[in-house]
Amino acid sequence: MADAGAAGSGDASQPAAQSWYQWGASMVTYAQQQLNSFMGWEDLEVVDPEAEKAKKGQDATATGLLEQERKQAWGTKQFQQYIGADVTSLLSVPVWIMEPFTILQKAAEIMEYTELLDAADTTEDEFDRFALVAAYCVSPFGAAERAWKPFNPILGETFELEVGSGVRYLAEQVSHHPPICAAHAQNSHFRYDLVSAPTTRFLGNSLEVYPYGRTRITLVRTNEVYTLVPPNAMVHNIVIGRTWVDAYGPMTINCHTTGAKCRLDFKPCGWFGYGRYEFEGFVYDKEGVKRVKLTGKWSQYVDAVRCDPEGAPLPDAPVKRLWTCDAKPVGDYYSFTNFAHKLNSSEGIRAPLPSDSRRRPDRANLAAGQMAAAGSEKVRLEEMQRAERRERDKRSDSWTPRWFRKVEQPKLYEGELEIEKVPFWEFTGEYLEKPQGDVAKAEDVNGKGFCPWQYADIHEKL
């Protein structure tokens, strides 16, 4: 050990560090092989599009080794019983797997590039307008690569946001079993409505995510209604290997006012990253004729060009860059975008509702790096939610969302998913009528005063 310490100084420090890293990596690999064989994980598929980069030492760190050790130590005890199941709300995971963000905040990331909808509303040409709406629907995938798990919202939890050109956004957790989030946003150019009820399927070393729900976008000037069905997503290497996210399959967008349609095909990532992030598709008129070709990488940009009925770009037609993903912070621990940091900040915002995600103490503690406190607060909130359920059952009460109402027989547009046991929720508008609060002090919001509860008095003992 003394020699190793001496070798760690001067010009020999880098080779020595690499030697120790290689030894540590080989020991972890050997331990993984033994553990996999013993626990029955040897048949799990490990797919890593950056495997070649890691082999060259470009992206291998001690933090990565620690993360893999943590995943396997926990995963071998917990994961096997859930293979093939929908684990959307079944797994109670440790906080070191999580990011200081809730699912309601994650749903709000689609509000980052609302200027695309503003531009669409003022665009005269029908197909150029549709292309901008399609680019907007791709834009949230620029933040989709984070593999950390967000906190599940408490029933009645909300998240509100003011952004862009007068956009006001509100999301509410309207159901706990099954977990359903409803959201609404609007400004002078568009209205956005979401009912999100994603399901999952655990496949051993990966998690397939099916984004069930309904997304509607209405442009104010033309009163055009667009509906969106996004592609599926896959989280790879949950137990073994480097965790990463892929999106694949068709994204379909229909304009029910004009009859125009758009289909974008997201390519699944191939070996060594071949085709990763790429998508291609077209805007079609009501007769099914191709009008605009859309290409790009969902993590970076969307390009559009006018095309002939065969899909070939028209001669001399310019290629327009409709969307470019903003640069992301380098070395961010959770791989947050700048917009995600804004969603997580309590600086310079109006005092949010007591039920707002920013007020959650577990989220605030995790953001501050206080993992033990975050874990204990998470358990406490989960027990409070269970206490609420027991009290509702005791009183024979039901839960009624504050800002959305259930529609028993909603009008479904062509192509919208009819989801069994998932009702449609519509925005009541009462949130927009309430007086807006003053700008709050961050220390009075961040992790403070969280109260989504129906029976706040019963929690004084917890």
Lowest mean pLDDT among 48-57, 173-182, 432-441: 48-57
- The region, left, alpha or beta by phi > 0 then psi within -120 to 50, assigned to residue 135 is alpha
Q: Which of 130, 109, 113 is nearest to 196 (CA)?
A: 109
The span from the CA of 43 to the CA of 34, in Å, is 13
Give the CATH class of 98-344: mainly beta
Q: Hey, what are 209's tokens?
A: 């995510």
**Mean pLDDT within 26-41:** 41
In sequence order, what are the residues at sequence separation of 6 or more whose Cβ sits closer than 8 angstroms to the Cβ of residue 230? 137, 211, 215, 251
Lowest mean pLDDT among 89-93, 132-136, 318-322, 327-331: 89-93
Residue 421: pLDDT over 50: yes
Q: What pLDDT score does 418 carry?
A: 55
**Mean pLDDT within 169-194:** 95
Indicate the angle between helix axes 62-78 and 13-39, nearest 10 degrees.
10
Residue 57: pLDDT over 50: no
Residue 326: pLDDT over 80: yes
Q: Are 190 and 121 in contact (CB under 8 A)?
A: yes
The span from the CA of 277 to the CA of 270, in Å, is 10
Residue 91: pLDDT over 70: no
Report the share of the chain in percent with pLDDT over 90: 60
Classify 394 as helix, strand or coil: helix
**Secondary structure (DSSP) of 29-77:** HHHHHHHHHHHT-TT-----TTHHHHHTTSS--HHHHHHHHHHHHHHHH
**Average pLDDT of every residue of the chain:** 83
Q: Are 147 and 246 in contact (CB under 8 A)?
A: no
How do beta strands 98-102 and 149-151 pair? parallel
Q: Are 107 and 181 in contact (CB under 8 A)?
A: yes
Residues in a beta bridge with 252: 229, 263
Lowest mean pLDDT among 189-193, 222-226, 227-231: 227-231
Residue 389: pLDDT over 90: yes
235-264 pLDDT, tens per residue? 888 777 788 889 999 999 999 999 999 999
Report the share of the chain in percent with pLDDT over 70: 77
Q: What pLDDT score does 68 carry?
A: 53
The span from the CA of 98 to the CA of 96, in Å, is 5
